[in-house]
Structure 1
Amino acid sequence: MITILENVLSKEELAEINTTLNRGQFHAGAETAGWAAQSVKKNKQWYAEPELEAELSNMLTTKLVSHPQFATTTYAKKIAPFLFSESRDSGGYGDHIDDALMGADFIFRSDLSCSVFLSEPDQYCGGELVFSIGAEKFSYKLKAGQAIIYPSTTLHRVEPVTEGVRRVGVIWLESYVRSAEKREILNDLDLARRDIMSTQGKNTAFDQISKSHSNLLRLWAET
């Protein structure tokens, strides 16, 4: 399931983040890529003083996890620090799968990936995030401040940026619910009960769906 989160960041927060990124430097992204991805990773990755990197990552993580859709989309158990990348001058990231196991201080399984867009789509040409699912291709070029969450198991790429600059923050998560199909069922149930609450108030249907949601989460969650 691919989910788009609206309004993760305000214009003021975007300006603050991009100002902070200008205080660091972007180096070749291939330096941090796994052996299989080094030949196709043509973007740049941001580096700064460790305190500044941690401050920016924590700020964006806080904004992301406080979004009303985040919890029931991800059921996040572990969240990696944000990485910030920039693509320009025909840079991008060819077809790849995110590593199954990630981390330095702690190792976690990557169930979900998330990109928060930091540049407006009219600020660059190209740069679409493209997913290959079966025989179909799905392309996304979101507004600054929006985020997209998708299974880390998905083959995906970032098209070359031929003009302008594309900046994103990228994060990976381990979920309490490993199965993407089960997470989708839980998300559907949560959306249904919220719809009932907003249109009918708390009633028997709400209670029954809430019971099923809670009991399935209890059954499927890996603690």
Structure 2
Amino acid sequence: MLITIADVLSHAELQDIRSTLQAMRFEDGRTTAGWSAKLVKDNEQAREGAALDLLRERVSKAILANEVFSLAVRPKTLTPLLFSRYGGGQHYGTHVDNPLMNGIRTDVSFTLFLADPDSYDGGELVIESVSGEDEIKLPAGHLVAYSSTSLHRVAPVTRGERLVAVGWAQSYLRDAAQRELLFDLENAKRGLFARAGKTPEFDLLAKTSANLFRMWAEV
């Protein structure tokens, strides 16, 4: 399931995070790429250090606190975030994410956009599927989450600077179809409650959703 989530970060938070990143040192992004991805990765990433650790903690908390992200991804844990920037001509060619990162199984990949889309050209995240390609370039503070099994790439930046936070989640639900079913059930349950309140039908949906999660969850 591919899902976009609005307003994970507020305008004030974005301004503060961008100011923090401007003061940090960046290094060649290939240092965190797998052996084949190194051949097609051309970006820079914030350098390890105490300032990066604090920024990771802050942004990770905001992501995990987002209700839509929680319901769509069912995150058990997140990998340490990477803060990446792409200048003129930089890109990331077609690749699939590593199945394990920092000892964490990568079920869901996500990109949190930090730069205003009008401030740069190109830089779309392109996700491949059997139905074609999805080109994604979101407003600052918005996030896209998608299956880590997907081939994807970042189109070349032709003007300005693309700035993002990227990460991976290990989900309580390994199967993407199960995550989507429970997300749909949750939306149906909430829609019914909004229209009719706590009815017997709502209770049945709540029971089914909870018991499916109980049946499928890996703890």
Relative to the length of structure 2, the TM-score reads 0.98
Name the amino acid aligned to 1:160: P
Give, in whole Å, the separation in 1 of the partners of 2:60 and 2:108: 14
Which residue number corresponds to residue 168 of structure 1?
A: 164
Name the amino acid aligned to 1:71: S
Relative to the length of structure 1, the TM-score reads 0.96
Q: How does 1:27-66 map to 2 (within 5 A)?
A: 27-47=27-47, 50-66=49-65
SS in 1 for 2:41: coil
CA displacement, residues 18-57 of structure 1 (integer Å, 9 cap, x when unaligned): 0000111121111221101001101111115x22111101
Name the amino acid aligned to 2:130: G
Which residue number corresponds to residue 100 of structure 1?
A: 99
Give, in whole Å, the separation in 1 of the partners of 2:81 and 2:13: 16
1:123 aligns with 2:122: no
Q: How does 1:1-223 map to 2 (within 5 A)?
A: 1-47=1-47, 50-103=49-102, 107-223=103-219
1:202: how far off?
Answer: 1.1
Q: Which runs of 5+ in 2 are unaligned?
A: none
How many residues align structurally? 219
Name the amino acid aligned to 2:145: I
1:187: how far off?
Answer: 0.3
1:135: how far off?
Answer: 4.8
SS in 1 for 2:194: helix
Give, in whole Å, the separation in 2 of the partners of 1:40 and 1:199: 50
Give, in whole Å, the separation in 2 of the partners of 1:199 and 1:123: 42
Name the amino acid aligned to 2:214: R
1:205: how far off?
Answer: 1.3
Q: Which runs of 5+ in 1 are unaligned?
A: none
Seq. identity, %: 40
1:115: how far off?
Answer: 0.6
Name the amino acid aligned to 2:45: Q
SS in 2 for 1:95: strand
Give RMSD over aligned pairs: 0.9
Give, in whole Å, the separation in 2 of the partners of 1:177 and 1:31: 30
